[in-house]
Structure 1
Amino acid sequence: MGAHRNTLRVHFDTDDLARTRVLHTPDPLWETLLSLHRLQGVAGQPVFGGWRSRVRRRLDRSAGMLLTLAPPRGYSVDFLTPGAGAADLETGLDTVLSTPRSVLAADLTELAASRRLPSWAPSLAAGEVEVLRELGDALRRYFSVAVEPFWPAIVSQARADRVRRGEIVLDGGVEALLSTLHHQARWRSPVLEIDYPVDQDLRLGGRGLLLVPSLFCWQSPVTLLDAGRQPVLVYPIDRRPGWFAGASSARSAIALLGRTRAAVLAAICARPLVSTTELAAELGISPAGASQHATVLRDSGLIVTDRAGGTARHRPTAFGSTLLTVSAS
């Protein structure tokens, strides 16, 4: 038997498909949370490397509280993303800073189960006004440095994704939307299954599902741990090269790939859904080498891999296609 694969299972009732919708724009608090995750790691360097360097130079000490509440792996407190669809950061912050004490305490207890928390955590769990004010100020400062300067680019790419999703719904309905949401998502009516860091079940119970596009979401869609809150699924969108600073960064990114890996990317762009075996034969490298290069490209957000019948087939993301084009120009 194969190894157990952790899975997020979203259970749909009869009314949930009709109540599933795609948010018209990214949510400021979700982008803030997920950008904190991206800031603390090194994954997706061609996509986020330039952004990381720029943001890290500009952060002040107040970001330390946020980095504690939103570690790069494992649980992040749900109260930082109380819902989705806030018109602006301040609207979302009003909700965050009005979080009931019982919810603050429960979320911080969950976080403390996997890491040691600093001395201010009990005061935050108790809802003390001063520490809540510090949290609000930290979120505003971080957003102004890490998210707000790039917001027009984020919104533009999310709206392009929404148009594409809308066409899928018109052609095949909501079930087609769910089955094509992400390469790690599998629609097995009435359950949407997604490869996930932990086993988790989200039962919609007639509430419907809000799909939230995100530029900072990486590798896999994410949701809240607390199934009693608004059911949301935040999913990654394709990103244009140089989304944070213009196309010049794309030329720098392609230089990081190296000649062979760039050739692998070019072959995948030329023949979408090419198999690993076909890649190896075309480029004169071993199947193991082709698989290794494909893994690096996939982890960098340049390709996605679909598996069917035991065969891995690769296709470029919009980022990968455009990156290669810009680099060749």
Structure 2
Amino acid sequence: MWRIHLSTDDIRRVRLAPAIDPMWELVHGLQAITNGVGGLVFDPWRRKVRLHGPARWRALHALVPAWGYSPDFLTPAVGTTDLREGFETVLRTPRTILRTDLGRLGSETPLPGWARSLASGDPETLQRLVTVLGRFHAAHLAPYWGEMRRQVNEELLAQRRTLCEQGIDGLLSGIGGTVRWEPPAIVLTNKRSELDIHLDGRGVVLQPSFFAYNDVTLLDLPGEPMVLVYPVSHRLGWLDPESPGARLEDLLSRTRAAMLDCLAGGSCTTTELAKRLDISPASSSEQAKILREAGLIVSDRDGRQVVHTASELGLALLSRSA
């Protein structure tokens, strides 16, 4: 078992991620193609990937094996809710980190020849990698992103409520699965080796992931909070275009349904909504106005910013559509 020991300062710095992280979903999605986990949940999606030719992603599988280590630079420690920002961070990865991450990966699995150019920080190789990642996302994640985001937001909303009602003990006890809270340590029960990790005040970020399944991934970088990525409780049939979530989009429009879905996970400013939904601030403001007038969200001014929150009616609508 692995034990992540939390000091008083660490416990004070436990926090929930703001939303779904597209970079973690890319990595876990690539792993899910080949590791075969979650048969009932992911097999229909895997069949769709195979129909489009899995060989297209051979270069990505060289960096993201089915099991074990994947380069840390693909999931930046700063975290992101925006795919383009994630790609920009990858493109800015220092050469020393590329060399270290790929050296560690190469010690566990054979790497293709182009990995040397990547390890040297060659800009063209980095750009090609990001381009292929973007194509994979567009082909196999983007069509289902609304449902993926919805399930992650539901987990985050439930955890925020637990934190408010039961505090840190309740939050850490409620992760479940292979994670157990034995104060003052988070215990990963499915690890075969024995390892004690001391964070020394860096804290922990809890990041739910749609494509994680029955396991926990850790990102532990010096000087950064540890990121603990764990799976959501999946709903079956998420590929079905006639799902309730799709009908909600028909009712509200895709953008407004996605906006309400975002706000179910916590309050956001107009600018934050624009970034998460990849729309202009003006469009974000207009869509929020329509939702507000329908009574589905509440908007409050905080200085120069307007903060939006899903109303009880909005949350009830989402709950009935789940």
Query: What TM-score, normalized to structure 1?
Result: 0.69
Aligned counterpart, 2:203 = 208
CA separation in 1, counterparts of 2:20 and 2:78?
A: 8
Aligned counterpart, 2:213 = 218
| Residue deviations 1:7-34 (CA, integer Å, cap 9, x gap) | 2322212122222111131100000000
Q: How does 1:121-160 map to 2 (within 5 A)?
A: 121-160=115-154
Are the structure 2 counterparts of residues 187 and 66 from structure 1 closer, same or farther at C-alpha, using a change threshold of 3 Å?
A: same
Q: How does 1:1-329 map to 2 (within 5 A)?
A: 7-59=1-53, 62-195=56-189, 196=191, 198-224=193-219, 226-246=221-241
Q: Which secondary structure does the structure 2 equivalent of 1:39 belong to? A: helix
CA separation in 1, counterparts of 2:142 and 2:157?
A: 23
CA separation in 2, counterparts of 1:233 and 1:182?
A: 13
| Residue deviations 1:267-294 (CA, integer Å, cap 9, x gap) | xxxxxxxxxxxxxxxxxxxxxxxxxxxx
**Once structures 1 and 2 are overlaid, which stretch shifts more, 82-91 or 192-201?**
192-201
Q: Which secondary structure does the structure 1 equivalent of 2:93 belong to? A: coil
Are the structure 2 counterparts of residues 47 and 115 from structure 1 closer, same or farther at C-alpha, using a change threshold of 3 Å?
A: same
Q: How far apart are 1:219 and its partner, in Å?
A: 0.8
Q: How far apart are 1:84 and its partner, in Å?
A: 5.0
Are the structure 2 counterparts of residues 146 and 199 from structure 1 closer, same or farther at C-alpha, using a change threshold of 3 Å?
A: farther
Query: What TM-score, normalized to structure 2?
Result: 0.70
Number of equivalences? 242
Aligned counterpart, 2:306 = none
| Structure 2: gaps (5+ residues) | 244-322
| Residue deviations 1:195-253 (CA, integer Å, cap 9, x gap) | 236544443222221111111011122112545544100111011111122579xxxxx
CA separation in 1, counterparts of 2:72 and 2:195?
A: 15
Q: Which secondary structure does the structure 2 equivalent of 1:192 belong to? A: strand
CA separation in 1, counterparts of 2:136 and 2:214?
A: 23
Are the structure 2 counterparts of residues 83 and 197 from structure 1 closer, same or farther at C-alpha, using a change threshold of 3 Å?
A: farther
Q: Which secondary structure does the structure 1 equivalent of 2:30 belong to? A: helix
Question: Which letter does structure 1 place at the counterpart of 2:230?
Answer: Y
CA separation in 2, counterparts of 1:169 and 1:230?
A: 19
Are the structure 2 counterparts of residues 55 and 166 from structure 1 closer, same or farther at C-alpha, using a change threshold of 3 Å?
A: same
| Residue deviations 1:108-128 (CA, integer Å, cap 9, x gap) | 111111111111111110011
CA separation in 1, counterparts of 2:129 and 2:211?
A: 21
Are the structure 2 counterparts of residues 54 and 15 from structure 1 closer, same or farther at C-alpha, using a change threshold of 3 Å?
A: same
Are the structure 2 counterparts of residues 138 and 199 from structure 1 closer, same or farther at C-alpha, using a change threshold of 3 Å?
A: farther
Are the structure 2 counterparts of residues 107 and 85 from structure 1 closer, same or farther at C-alpha, using a change threshold of 3 Å?
A: closer
What CA RMSD, in Å, does the superposition of the two structures yield over aligned residues? 1.9
CA separation in 2, counterparts of 1:46 and 1:185?
A: 22
Q: How far apart are 1:136 and its partner, in Å?
A: 0.9
CA separation in 2, counterparts of 1:117 and 1:218?
A: 26
8 Å CA contact retained: 2:179, 2:186: yes
Are the structure 2 counterparts of residues 101 and 153 from structure 1 closer, same or farther at C-alpha, using a change threshold of 3 Å?
A: same
Q: Which secondary structure does the structure 2 equivalent of 1:15 belong to? A: helix
Are the structure 2 counterparts of residues 60 and 184 from structure 1 closer, same or farther at C-alpha, using a change threshold of 3 Å?
A: closer
| Residue deviations 1:282-321 (CA, integer Å, cap 9, x gap) | xxxxxxxxxxxxxxxxxxxxxxxxxxxxxxxxxxxxxxxx
Q: Which secondary structure does the structure 2 equivalent of 1:244 belong to? A: coil
Are the structure 2 counterparts of residues 51 and 84 from structure 1 closer, same or farther at C-alpha, using a change threshold of 3 Å?
A: farther
CA separation in 2, counterparts of 1:199 and 1:94?
A: 36
Question: Which letter does structure 1 place at the counterpart of 2:206?
Answer: L
Q: Which secondary structure does the structure 2 equivalent of 1:55 belong to? A: helix
8 Å CA contact retained: 2:204, 2:227: yes
CA separation in 2, counterparts of 1:243 and 1:233?
A: 25
Q: Which secondary structure does the structure 2 equivalent of 1:158 belong to? A: helix
Question: Which letter does structure 1 place at the counterpart of 2:212?
Answer: C
